[in-house]
């Protein structure tokens, strides 16, 4: 009781909203950036004539699932050829600190994490139409990923890249 009272008084003094006495303090349950980095570095694609191309870690977003767990997404990217048309991206998904896999089994191009909507992670995928140059897709698809109590579910499929599926993602042993 004294500890809870001290936490409450300290929180109020610092301007932090504290839980009522008797309630437990909530903790962020997502993976550390170091943990996500390891899974990003384990992810790779196989490019003909190049071999295994690893990924690096990018931005992240987290949401609270309906069951109270934390769903976190990290964008991962690689650039095996140093040009815009050789860049690939994927999205790592975690529930609390557990790596669930990728948003799609195939690499995409130029994905971005959008502001969350309720308990869903939202990923924007580019869509090239007609004679769009590599730099400038004229369309996009917004796919939401949420936890249904036992797995991540998507409200659609990521689009193809210039009408073709992206490179298959692989995970090296860790």
DSSP the chain: -HHHHHHHHHHHHHT---PPTTSPPP---SPPHHHHHHHHHHEEEEETTTEEEE-EEEEEEEEE-TTS-EEEEEEEEEESSSSGGGEEEEEEEEETTEEEEESSSB-BSS-EEEEEETTEEEEEEEE--TT--TT--SEEEEEEEEE-SSSEEESS-PPPBTTB--PBPEE---
Distances (CA, A) of 138 to 56, 90, 114: 26, 20, 18
- pLDDT score at 101: 95
- pLDDT score at 162: 81
- pLDDT score at 121: 97
Neighbours of 88 (CB within 10 A): 23
Closest CA to 142 of 91, 94, 87, 100: 91
- pLDDT score at 122: 97
Q: Which residues of the chain have pLDDT under 50?
A: 1-27
- pLDDT score at 47: 87
- pLDDT score at 159: 93
- pLDDT score at 118: 87
- pLDDT score at 152: 96
- pLDDT score at 5: 32
101-129 residue pLDDT tens: 999 999 998 899 999 878 999 999 999 88
Q: Could you identify the residue written with the tokens 């610092």?
A: 14
pTM: 0.80
Task: Sort 83 into a burial class: Cβ within 10 Å, 0-12 / 13-18 / 19+.
Answer: exposed
- pLDDT score at 8: 32
Q: Which residues contact 59 (CB under 8 A, 6 or more apart)?
A: 74, 75, 113
């Amino acid at each position: 009781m004294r500890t809870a009272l001290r936490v409450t008084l300290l929180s109020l003094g610092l301007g932090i909203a504290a839980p009522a006495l008797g309630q437990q303090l909530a903790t962020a349950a997502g993976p550390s950036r170091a943990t996500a980095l390891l899974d990003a570095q384990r992810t790779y694609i196989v490019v003909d004539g190049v071999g295994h191309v690893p990924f690096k870690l990018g931005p992240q977003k987290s949401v609270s699932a309906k069951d109270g767990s934390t769903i976190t997404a990290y964008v991962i990217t690689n650039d095996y050829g140093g040009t815009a048309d050789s860049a690939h991206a994927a999205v790592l998904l975690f529930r609390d600190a557990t790596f669930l896999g990728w948003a799609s089994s195939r690499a995409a191009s130029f994905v971005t994490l959008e502001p969350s909507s309720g308990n869903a992670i939202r990923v924007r995928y580019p869509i090239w139409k007609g004679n769009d140059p590599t730099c400038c897709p004229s369309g996009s698809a917004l796919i939401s990923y949420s936890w249904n109590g036992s797995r991540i579910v998507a409200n659609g499929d990521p689009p193809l890249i210039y009408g073709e599926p992206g490179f298959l993602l692989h995970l090296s042993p860790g």
